[in-house]
């Protein structure tokens, strides 16, 4: 019974966090909160670290005059920076994108912000729910690893980022497009040859699951 209560409490907390984070008129978020270094990530560990730094620096680069009227999310994958959310004007969209492009190590800015009113807490919670459903379906798919794909949803539009083979990319797009609540899929994944994917998966810290590592055993007489 205690375990059941804990599970319910955890689920409620996951739902409540987006609401709490959206209490201020302007919200600037990064993907770094869930950016744990992964041994199943095809990016080198150094690039994973760079991506987290890019997200934080990009969030801080938002011109002050636009911050109060914007809701922004910054997601970096393999040094490609995705910006989603709402801004008050085309001027704000352009300025925010240009400043983000000046952040060190960014090789491409994908400015997907929309001009319009800031989204409601209910809409953001719905986006988070859609993202969780897409991730869950990707996890259930046995022909690819969900660890290789980053999922971002904004205004029911779902963006996919990652380093994948052509086959993996097609499977991920199909699964996402058939997920309830997704109005559109934007494919931002980087397609690599099967040979390159195999090479990446065999590198230290590459895409292959490492499994449980036993602790060293010391025998003393």
**Once rounded to an integer, what is the mean pLDDT over residues 132-143?**
96
Other Cβ atoms within 10 Å of 120 Cβ, number: 11
The 8-class DSSP code of residue 32 comes to G
pLDDT surpassing 50 at residue 57: yes
Domain boundaries, the chain: 24-115, 121-202
Name the CA dihedral angle for 106, 110, 113, 115, rounded to a multiple of 10 degrees: 110
Q: Alpha-carbon dihedral of residues 185, 191, 195, 200, nearest 10 degrees?
A: -90
65: Cβ contacts below 8 Å, ≥ 6 apart: none
Residue 110 has pLDDT above 60, yes or no: yes
Q: How confident is the model at residue 40, as a pLDDT?
A: 76
Average pLDDT value for the chain: 84
What token pair was written down for 217? 């055993």
Q: How far apart are CA 37 and CA 18, in angstroms?
A: 23
Does the structure show a pLDDT above 70 at 153?
yes
Q: Which CATH class is domain 121-202?
A: alpha beta
- Residues 19-46: what's their mean pLDDT? 59
Phi, psi of 173 (to 5 degrees): -65, -45
Q: Could you tell me the pTM of the whole model?
A: 0.79
More confident residue, 161 or 16: 161
Q: Rounded to an integer, what distance in angstroms lies between the CA atom of residue 100 and that of residue 92?
A: 12
């Amino acid at each position: 019974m205690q375990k059941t209560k804990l599970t319910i409490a955890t689920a409620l907390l996951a739902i409540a966090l987006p609401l709490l984070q959206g209490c201020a008129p302007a919200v600037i978020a990064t993907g770094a909160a869930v950016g744990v270094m992964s041994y199943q990530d095809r990016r080198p560990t150094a690039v994973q670290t760079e991506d987290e730094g890019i997200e934080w620096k990009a969030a801080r680069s938002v011109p002050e005059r636009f911050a109060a009227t914007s809701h922004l999310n910054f997601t970096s994958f393999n040094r490609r920076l995705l910006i989603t959310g709402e801004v008050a004007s085309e001027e704000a969209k352009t300025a925010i994108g240009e400043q983000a492009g000046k952040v060190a190590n960014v090789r491409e800015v994908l400015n997907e912000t929309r001009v319009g009113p800031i989204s409601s807490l209910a809409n953001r919670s719905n986006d988070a729910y859609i993202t969780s459903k897409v991730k869950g379906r990707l996890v259930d798919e046995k022909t690819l690893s969900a660890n290789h794909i980053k999922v971002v949803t904004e205004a029911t539009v779902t963006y996919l980022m990652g380093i994948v083979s052509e086959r993996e990319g097609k499977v991920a797009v199909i699964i996402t497009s058939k997920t309830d609540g997704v109005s559109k899929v934007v494919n931002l994944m980087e397609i690599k040859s099967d040979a390159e994917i195999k090479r990446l998966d065999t590198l230290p810290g590459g895409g292959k699951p490492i499994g449980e590592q036993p602790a060293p055993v010391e025998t003393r007489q």
